[in-house]
């Protein structure tokens, strides 16, 4: 993090959310690719952004309030090989945290940074709090900061808590969330996507959920995840139709993580712009059955590339689906084909 007269926040790619009473928490599972999950008790009123990475195996997290920007909680959780993990003893974490605090003192009002211990059933770490000398000058500027490092099982997390008010209840909530974190090396079967194949269709469901989605087989075949990163998810699915140059993928998620189609779309396109990626063209928002749909074109050297983002929200479950096709047909023809495919996908509530 670059230090100046303010503390600044970072952006992430994959958007999710939580809603409810601020005092209540919800156990959330954040996948560390290839090495289980970090389990956190997240306040229901917080929004969260998450981005898993394969190299190094890690997950970056950003928690913010449901509205406004009173605080920002940033985490980077990394799985370490045993040799490196052995170097993160309580004493070494304390020493590293003290060194980090000392480097920031020239930009802080404090003359010294007092360390505090963070301890839970599986966690041990240290943190410090500092006050920026400069006054906040923008919507993402913060005067108060708490930073530290905590080891949870085989996961080491560095964290930053930013806020504007000197006394903030969410700071204590964030520290408690980190202290109570656990590392699970086994995926939860109840929350893992199950796919049943028949002669005519694929049936997708999550045992803990109530929705069953049926994809007509046609030319679709199951494929291995080629993307890594955010697609390393226990409820991710990926199918291809090689002859039609068509891809279909997506996730099953808890309904409380869904905000709105436009909010999700705005967040994603802003991230594309930030990364210098091409911007979508001819964007259209539609409603097809219970699917909330975004249709758009993307530049392609081989012809027309049309994409559909579709969201189905029902009975506590949110299904997000991405369908794309590249062909020499016109954009209108490709759009019609994708939307016809979407109409054949059935989603029913399990009784």
More confident residue, 327 or 290: 290
Lowest mean pLDDT across 53-57, 129-133, 185-189, 242-246: 185-189
Q: Do 309 and 320 meet the contact criterion of CB atoms below 8 Å apart?
A: yes
311 contact partners, CB below 8 Å, separation of at least 6: 258, 261, 264, 291, 292, 293, 318, 319, 320, 321
99 contact partners, CB below 8 Å, separation of at least 6: none
- Write the pLDDT tens digit of every residue in 8-51: 433 333 333 333 333 588 888 888 888 888 999 999 889 888 88
Give the sign of the dihedral formed by CA 86, CA 150, CA 176, CA 154: negative
- Write the pLDDT tens digit of every residue in 284-297: 999 999 999 999 99
Average pLDDT of the residues of the chain: 86
Q: Which of 274, 296, 261, 271 is nearest to 49 (CA)?
A: 271
- Write the pLDDT tens digit of every residue in 124-149: 999 999 999 876 666 668 999 999 99
pLDDT the model gives residue 49: 85
> What's the CA gap between 141 and 118, in Å, rounded?
26
45 contact partners, CB below 8 Å, separation of at least 6: 18, 19, 20, 21, 22, 65, 66
E strands of 264-329, at which residues? Answer: 281-288, 291-298, 304-314, 317-327
DSSP-derived pairing of the beta strands 37-43 and 25-31: antiparallel
More confident residue, 7 or 116: 116
Residues 317-344: what's their mean pLDDT? 93
Joined together, the tokens standing for residue 278 give 């091409």
Can you spell out the DSSP letters for 229-254? GGG--TTEEEEEETTTTEEEEEEEEE
Tell me the three state secondary structure of residue 197. strand
**In the predicted model, is pLDDT for residue 113 greater than 50?**
yes
Backbone φ and ψ for 262, nearest 5 degrees, come out as -70, -35
> What's the CA gap between 44 and 48, in Å, rounded?
10
| Residue tagged 């929705």 (tokens) | 211
95 contact partners, CB below 8 Å, separation of at least 6: none
Tell me which H or E stretch contains 205: strand 201-205
pLDDT the model gives residue 138: 63
């Amino acid at each position: 993090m670059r230090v100046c007269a303010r503390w600044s926040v970072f952006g992430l790619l994959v958007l999710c959310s939580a809603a409810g009473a601020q005092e209540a928490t919800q156990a959330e599972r954040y996948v560390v690719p290839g090495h289980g999950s970090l389990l956190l008790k997240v306040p229901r009123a917080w929004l969260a952004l998450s981005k898993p990475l394969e190299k190094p195996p890690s997950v970056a997290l950003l928690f913010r309030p449901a509205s406004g920007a009173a605080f920002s909680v940033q985490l980077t959780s990394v799985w370490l090989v045993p040799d490196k993990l052995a170097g993160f003893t309580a004493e070494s974490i304390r020493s590293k945290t003290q060194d980090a605090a000392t480097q920031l003192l020239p930009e802080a009002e404090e003359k010294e940074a007092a360390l505090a211990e963070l301890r839970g059933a599986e966690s041990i770490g240290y943190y410090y709090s500092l006050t920026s000398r400069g006054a906040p000058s923008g919507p993402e500027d913060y005067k108060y900061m708490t930073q530290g490092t905590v080891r949870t099982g085989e996961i080491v997390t560095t964290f930053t808590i930013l806020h504007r008010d000197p006394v903030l209840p969410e700071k204590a909530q964030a520290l408690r969330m980190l202290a109570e974190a656990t590392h699970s090396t086994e995926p939860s079967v109840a929350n893992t996507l199950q796919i049943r194949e028949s002669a005519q269709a694929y049936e997708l469901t999550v045992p803990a959920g109530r929705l069953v989605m049926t994809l007509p087989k046609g030319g679709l075949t199951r494929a291995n995840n080629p993307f890594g990163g955010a697609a390393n998810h226990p409820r991710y699915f990926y199918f291809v139709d090689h002859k039609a140059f068509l891809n279909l993928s997506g996730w099953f998620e808890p309904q409380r993580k869904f905000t709105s189609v436009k909010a999700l779309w705005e967040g994603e396109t802003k991230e594309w712009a930030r990364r210098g990626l091409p911007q979508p063209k001819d964007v259209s928002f539609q409603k097809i059955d219970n699917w909330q749909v975004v249709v758009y074109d993307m530049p392609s050297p081989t012809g027309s590339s049309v994409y559909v983002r579709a969201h189905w929200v029902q009975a506590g479950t949110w299904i997000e689906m991405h369908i794309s096709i590249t062909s020499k047909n016109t954009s209108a023809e490709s759009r019609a084909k994708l939307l016809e495919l979407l109409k054949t996908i059935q989603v029913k509530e399990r009784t």
